[in-house]
Structure 1
Amino acid sequence: MDVNEIRDDIIQQNGLQNTDEIYTFYYDETNNIRKLYLKDSGFNVNKADNFTLAGILHKGASADIDYSTLLNILNLQKSAHELKVKHIAKGGFLDMLKSDKILIILNWLIKNKLYIHYFNLNITYWSVIDIIDSIIGELHNPFYIVNHMSLKSDFYEIANSNSDVFLSILHKFNYPDIPKEKVHDFCLWLIEFTCIHSCKLSDFRANALENLVKKSLEIGELQFVSGFNGRTLIDSFMVFYLRNLYLFKNSIHIFDEEKSIQNEVQNFSLTENGIPIKNYEFVKSHNSEAVQLSDVIAGFLGKYFTYLKDVNDEQLVLDRAGLTSKQIKTLSALKHIIDVSNDVSRGFFNVVSSEGEQRRNIQFLHGVKL
């Protein structure tokens, strides 16, 4: 794949700045379930937390950074052979906000002109929105095209409100490889399920979603839910590792060693004008303090994004109002480093999640109610 064939469109469509500059990215991950598929009782995993690929970065190909100073301040137990998020904070996101060591790390990163980056994926949202994309893609209706994010988010919300039933029926229809002869029955079920559960939405949004799914009966084929591996929703996270490789093609990308992903990435050909690009490497984390710090950042942000997925709007308001002064300081430091990183390049951040999660992020992190 030629990197410029895809990166140019992404940069232009999202107005991303400074993507041609040289940076050094460090990565780690959390909640990598490796595969997601449907069973008759739901997913193959007990809890579908958000997959997060995240870490730290700095400008240029090298930087003179004294990591030993930070490690001395953190005063880790001698049994800790390398820095891990479990040595820094435990519990859910709100508990992690109480950690002195999280605050120390965030302030140290800011002081040393280090930035953060992340990819946040709600795996359930990613797995079910192809149903809505299939309908919108065939209708070519300007209203549905303009409002596609709201429609997908509303559909995710009602699917998630009765996920056991929803996933069980998807399994029955062999989603995402629904046989052609069963598409009509699937659409009838889809309409019934949506109309029953759309009461959770405002009248306007409920009507918009109901009218959209009813139009599925006018479509001969649902493009994105047929012809794939039946009941397999995610068979690899490799595609998410590639994004920064082609978007920041001039940068250096250093990943924590992960054999399965490592082999897939190495077998995927990235080129520019026919010339192979190799702008990444996989390293053992105990040899890289920056990758160890990325483990902390990925673990911390993974808890945050899963919190945003699971919390309702009312509880979020109560949680934010009840933050202690220590929690507020840590949250402020997180907001600050995200803001300064965003000022360098909005491309450092990539999110695949519902409108509700993104709205709750703005409300919790920035204190702005939308």
Structure 2
Amino acid sequence: MAMVLRCDIGAAVHLFHAYGYPGLAPEGRRPFLEQLVELVDYHKDVLPAENAMILRSVLRAGRSLKTLDFIEGYPSNLLIEEFSTFYLARIAVFKHSSHVFDMEDNIRDLLLKSPLTSNGQPVTNFRFADSMHEPGIQLSDVVVGVLGKMHSYFTHTERDEVAEDRTALNEVSLENTVLLRDLISRSHEANIGFLNHVANAHDLDKLNLFLRFLDGIYA
């Protein structure tokens, strides 16, 4: 579905906003799905024929459901209310690590409001700090910024253009690309939990094309 929606981002945003996604009203269920089917029909050439047919059938079948559990009954047009879950996930997954978070007053207050425990013991392996005094946070901001721009580039760039850009890299850019690739690979080898991203198969294919992982597969 992502490939279809990307064909006209503006129209997709307007459609989702018009129906209050991800908080559809029950009466909006059927017309919302019907318009998604229309989008699939209009942009079906971007998908393999069988995939387009299956996607269309799934969307049409959804019209007869009594509820769309994951996109009904929630506040309209509110994707994320707050981000404490992302902080909690890092603390829980890496419970034996020490976490230093950039100061976010609202996140800190939420976490301190209900003290965290593990097996009945207080969780104290995290703290919030001013990034001005934490080189580690400053460095992580740079790395996250690079990775974010990289994924945005693959999202908005056609595969043929990615291939052309890769071929056109100069010596310094090519070296930086190899360094980034190796950093990602080593991170994955050290702990698979270090990599946390959401991307579809088409974008991962473009990422592999550009970074050229040695095993041909993005970690």
Give, in whole Å, the separation in 2 of the partners of 1:312 and 1:227: 36
Give, in whole Å, the separation in 2 of the partners of 1:285 and 1:346: 27
Q: 1:207 to 1:330 in 2, by over 3 A?
A: same
Matching residue's letter, 2:130: K
Match of 2:207 in 1: 361
Give, in whole Å, the separation in 1 of the partners of 2:205 and 2:112: 37
Q: 1:269 to 1:366 in 2, by over 3 A?
A: farther
2:54 aligns with one of 186, 205, 208:
208
1:233 to 2:70 alignment:
no
Match of 1:220 in 2: 66
Give, in whole Å, the separation in 2 of the partners of 1:250 and 1:243: 13
Match of 1:99 in 2: none
Give, in whole Å, the separation in 2 of the partners of 1:270 and 1:240: 14
Q: Structure 1 stretches of 5 or more lacking a match?
A: 1-154
**Counterparts of residues 97-246 of structure 1 (less than 5 Å):** 155-246=1-92
Matching residue's letter, 2:104: E
Bigger mean CA offset, 241-250 vs 185-194: 185-194
Instruction: Compute the displacement of 1:224 (Å).
Output: 0.8
| Paired positions, count | 216
- Length-normalised TM-score, structure 2: 0.89
More helix by share: 2
Q: 1:294 to 1:344 in 2, by over 3 A?
A: same
1:351 aligns with one of 197, 206, 211:
197
Instruction: Compute the displacement of 1:264 (Å).
Output: 3.0
Q: 1:311 to 1:223 in 2, by over 3 A?
A: same
Percent identity among equivalent residues?
A: 27
1:285 aligns with one of 101, 106, 131:
131
Q: 1:343 to 1:194 in 2, by over 3 A?
A: same
2:23–2:78 contact (8 Å) kept in structure 1: no
1:255–1:283 contact (8 Å) kept in structure 2: yes
Instruction: Compute the displacement of 1:337 (Å).
Output: 1.8
1:363–1:369 contact (8 Å) kept in structure 2: no
1:273 aligns with one of 95, 112, 119:
119
- Length-normalised TM-score, structure 1: 0.55
Q: 1:311 to 1:246 in 2, by over 3 A?
A: same
Give, in whole Å, the separation in 2 of the partners of 1:353 and 1:181: 31
Give, in whole Å, the separation in 1 of the partners of 2:217 and 2:189: 22
Q: 1:357 to 1:267 in 2, by over 3 A?
A: farther
Instruction: Compute the displacement of 1:193 (Å).
Output: 2.2
Give, in whole Å, the separation in 2 of the partners of 1:299 and 1:173: 32
Query: Over aligned residues, Cα RMSD in angstroms?
Result: 2.0
Give, in whole Å, the separation in 1 of the partners of 2:14 and 2:138: 40
1:258 to 2:141 alignment:
no
